[in-house]
Amino acid sequence: NAGVTQTPKFRVLKTGQSMTLLCAQDMNHEYMYWYRQDPGMGLRLIHYSVGEGTTAKGEVPDGYNVSRLKKQNFLLGLESAAPSQTSVYFCASSLSGTGSTNEKLFFGSGTQLSVL
Amino acid sequence: AQKVTQAQTEISVVEKEDVTLDCVYETRDTTYYLFWYKQPPSGELVFLIRRNSFDEQNEISGRYSWNFQKSTSSFNFTITASQVVDSAVYFCALSEASNAGNMLTFGGGTRLMVKP
C-alpha cells in the first residue's frame, strides 16, 4: 500500500499565485488532516475532515481552503500565496479520530513550499 | 486549550550515551492521549508511541522507554545507548477527548544529534 501520498513534493510560487496541494490515501481512512511545519513551532493544524464532504478549521486556517469531494482525497488550496505561507506541509489520515482506541495518524512525506 | 512544550530545542550526545527528551503538556481534559513521533533527516513522520491518560504504566520498547507522570504533566522519552541512526527531530503531541481527538497539538520538537 502507498499509504498517504502528497503531490507535489516541492513547489516555488510567486506572491499572489494560487496552487493546490493534493493528498491521497489508500487506507479507507475517514479522517484527514493538513498540517504546516515551521522551525521551532512543531506542526500546526490547518484544516481537517472527518469524512467525505466535510471540512473544519484547525488552528491556523487563514489563507487556506480545503475540499474533500472524495473519501480518499483531501485538497489544500492557497488562493493568493504569501511569503508567510512558506513552510513544509504535511497531510495525515486516520481511520477515526485519535480518541479511538490505539488510533494514530499516518503522515505523508511532506511538500516543501516556498513563496517568493 | 491544549499545549505541549518541548523545552529542549537541540540536544547533542555521543554514541552510546543515554538521552532523555522532555515533554510537558497542558490540558483541562481528564481524558487525553499523548504521542511521540520521530522525523528523521528524510523528513517523514514516524509514529513511535501512543499513551492514554488513564494508563500511567511506563513503556519500554528495545532501547526506547517512556515515562508518563500525570502528577507533573510530563511524558518523557529516553533513548538508551544512543546510536547515530537515532539522529532526528522528535515531536511530542497531545489530543484531547473533548474534541473527539480531532486536534493533535504538537510541541516544537527536539532535534537530537548523535555523534559517532
- pLDDT, tens digit, 9 for 90 and up, residues A64-74: 999 999 999 99
At A103, is the pLDDT very low, low, confident or very high (cuts 50, 70, 90)?
confident
Q: Does residue B101 carry a pLDDT above 60?
A: no
At B96, is the pLDDT very low, low, confident or very high (cuts 50, 70, 90)?
confident
Q: Are A4 and A108 in contact (CB under 8 A)?
A: yes
Q: Cβ B44–A110 below 8 Å, yes or no? A: yes
- Alpha carbons A45 and B2: distance in angstroms, whole number: 13
Residues B58-64 have a mean pLDDT of 90
Which residue on chain A is closest to B41 by alpha carbon? A109
Hey, is the C-beta of A59 within 8 angstroms of any chain B C-beta?
A: yes
Mean pLDDT of chain B: 92
Which residue on chain A is closest to B1 by alpha carbon? A59
B23 or B61, which is more confident: B23
Residues A73-102 have a mean pLDDT of 89
Q: Does residue A44 carry a pLDDT above 90?
A: yes
Residues A3-25 have a mean pLDDT of 96
Q: Cα distance from B16 to chain A (closest Cα, Å)?
A: 27
Interface of B with A (CB under 8 A): 4, 6, 9, 33, 35, 37, 42-45, 47, 50, 91, 93, 95, 97, 100-109
The answer for residues whose C-beta is within 8 angstroms of residue A39's C-beta and 6 or more apart is none
At A3, is the pLDDT very low, low, confident or very high (cuts 50, 70, 90)?
very high
Q: Does residue B115 carry a pLDDT above 80?
A: yes
pLDDT of residue A37: 95
C-alpha count within 13 angstroms, C-beta hemisphere, residue A27: 21
Q: Does residue B73 carry a pLDDT above 80?
A: yes
Q: Does residue A99 carry a pLDDT above 70?
A: no
When scoring B104, B106, B110, B111 by the number of chain A Cβ atoms within 10 A, the one with the most, hence best to mutate, is B104
Q: Are B94 and B25 in contact (CB under 8 A)?
A: yes
When scoring A88, A98, A112 by the number of chain B Cβ atoms within 10 A, the one with the most, hence best to mutate, is A98
Q: Cβ B109–A45 below 8 Å, yes or no? A: no
pLDDT of residue B56: 83
B33, B42, B91: residue with CB nearest A98: B33
pLDDT of residue A95: 84
Q: Cβ B101–A97 below 8 Å, yes or no? A: yes
- Taking contacts as CB-CB distances below 8 angstroms, the residues of chain B near A44 are 106
- Alpha carbons A36 and A60: distance in angstroms, whole number: 9
B99 or B89, which is more confident: B89
pLDDT of residue B90: 97
Q: Does residue B103 carry a pLDDT above 80?
A: no
Task: Identify the sign of the CA torsion A114, A40, B109, A98.
Answer: negative
